[in-house]
Amino acid sequence: MKNLYRISDLFIIFSAIIATLSCNKSDFLSAKTNQSLVVPQTISDFQAILDNLNYMNGEGTYGRPMIGLMASDDYYMLDADYNSRSQWMRNVYLWQSFPYTGVDLPDWDYPYRTIYYANSALEGISGIAPNSDNKSAWENVKGSALYFRAFANFELCQLFCPVYDSASMETDLGLPLRLSADANEPLSRSNIKKTYEQILNDLSEALRFLPKMVAYKTRPSMGAAYGLLGRVYLNMGSYKNAFLYADSCLSLQHSLIDYNTLSSSSTYPIVQYNQEVVIDHNFYDANNSVEKVDTTLYNLYEANDLRKSLFFKQFGATSDHRFYGSYTGSSLRFSGISVNEMLLIRAECNARLAHLTSALDDLNELLINRYKSGTYTAYYSSESQDVLNKILLERRKELVFRNIRWQDLRRLNKQSHSITIKRIIGGATYALSPHDSRYVFPIPDNVVSLNPQIIQNEY
């Protein structure tokens, strides 16, 4: 059977419920007897599908793409560490044109699995009429499924599609858009215009149904949808819209962590579900045990910048450092929506729109919570480019190891920032130039072989 997912035991809907109920972080779900016989048919069943933290939020090793981080300049590997990786991971690290030949790539499979579950929930509740008794629960399923589908499509787009360009969006190849749970649905690639329209339409519709507040930060809220819209529009270069939605997110949640209250002696100083988290998404970093923080990146942090000691710790007896500052409170990497990202989006948009006072207010609000008490001097400048450069610098320092750097490299190089990143392995230097075609990963060859109507990316 031809399919897009390339998952050997393509999960039927009730298996999602079983997996969800076995997840120790989903104990708020009510267990049913004889789960193997469950066929989803109620609103609570479809909510259970969306509460599968592994597959929808990326808990554990199941969930979200990681090759954006693997190919970014947040870290480097020594020769011995590089040689310990699997072949396809070594290929991604050195930006080989076809890095994972014959591999079932999780970065493709997992987001489409999320989309499959979202579509299953959407189709399921379409057969249930909302009424005064079930309206809130029905709307939560509807809005959440739309949000998760948009999140997964946007992740895929940042890896397997070119950077958004309004001049070429109708000819640039987009994603195969899955709008049903039918695994036999004929597949072909849309264009970038249709791909982004689908993402934006899903999020706009989700806002009609999502609540302002949620009991669990693994569930989507209005703030999460606003925040994701801000992220999407920023990557599109639509700064007025990015500002609008980041601002809307911050109007619902605006609390920052004072890093002076955190302890650098803790292995993972920042706890999961903290006050800055709007919605929790995680991803597994397969190189976590061997990656060293890029030296140039580490040296960007001043001595009084608390992020230097909270984010990074010395790697054994060497002078190298590893990253411990994830908003997951663990080795999992955080890739969700957060207050600090929204402040930086709003600040960047204000700087680009020449609203410098507002841009600096947001920047200084963030940084006073990141420096040792009494050591931070507010930054001011009347030069638009200086303000923008400072905000982009702090964005680089604040949002490390979140899978955001790859997105930023793509969009900033599109704007002629001319960032070249390099690796040194075996005495040889490898480089990824600003407009290199390898900023778009190939669709896995086994997916294309099963679906020959899908056009492969060119190199």
358 in Cβ contact with 398 (< 8 Å) = no
Q: Which range, of 24-33, 145-154, 275-284, averages the lowest pLDDT?
A: 24-33
Strands (E), 98-140: none
- Encode 198-267 in three state secondary structure: HHHHHHHHHCCCCCCCCCCCCCCCHHHHHHHHHHHHHHHCCHHHHHHHHHHHHHHCCCCCCHHHCCCCCC
Top-confidence residue, 225 or 316: 225
Q: Tell me: pLDDT of 267 over 80.
A: yes
Q: Tell me: pLDDT of 15 over 70.
A: no
Q: Tell me: pLDDT of 23 over 70.
A: no
Amino acid at 327: Y
Strands (E), 33-160: 75-76
**Per-residue confidence (pLDDT) for residue 286, from 0 to 100:** 87
Q: State mean pLDDT over 178-192.
A: 90
| Element containing residue 384 per DSSP (H, E) | helix 384-398
Report domain 13-261+334-450's class: mainly alpha
pLDDT digits (tens, 9 = 90+) for 421-453: 999 999 999 999 999 999 999 999 999 999 999
Q: Tell me: pLDDT of 38 over 80.
A: no
Q: State mean pLDDT over 206-215.
A: 96
Q: State mean pLDDT over 179-185.
A: 88
Domain boundaries, the chain: 13-261+334-450
pLDDT digits (tens, 9 = 90+) for 126-162: 999 999 999 999 999 999 999 999 999 999 999 999 9
CA distance 10 to 3: 9
Local structure of residue 97 (DSSP, 8 states): S
Q: Which residues of 413-430 are buried (b: 16+ CB within 10 A; e: fewer)?
A: bbeeeeeebebebeeeee
